[in-house]
Structure 1
Amino acid sequence: MATKAGTELATFGAGCFWGTEKFFRKQFGANLISALVGYMGGASNATYQDVCTGTTNHAEVLQLSYEPNKVAYADLVRFFFRMHDPTSLNRQGNDRGTQYRSVIFTHTNEQQKIAEQIRDEVQASGKVKGQIVTQIQSATGLQFFTGEPYHQRYLENNPDGYCNHRLYF
Structure 2
Amino acid sequence: MSTLLLRNDLGPVSLLAPEAGMRHVRATYGHLWQWTGDGSDLFTLSVAARSTRLGTAAGARDHLRAELKQLRPGPAPGAESPTETDLALFVEGAAASAADQAGEVRGNLVHQRVVVTTDGELMHVTRILVPDHEAGHELLDRITRSLRVRPWSIPA
Tell me, yes or no, whether TM beats 0.5. no
Higher RCO (C-alpha 8 Å, min separation 6): 1
> Which band: TM-score by shorter chain?
0.3 to 0.5
Structure holding more helix per residue: 1
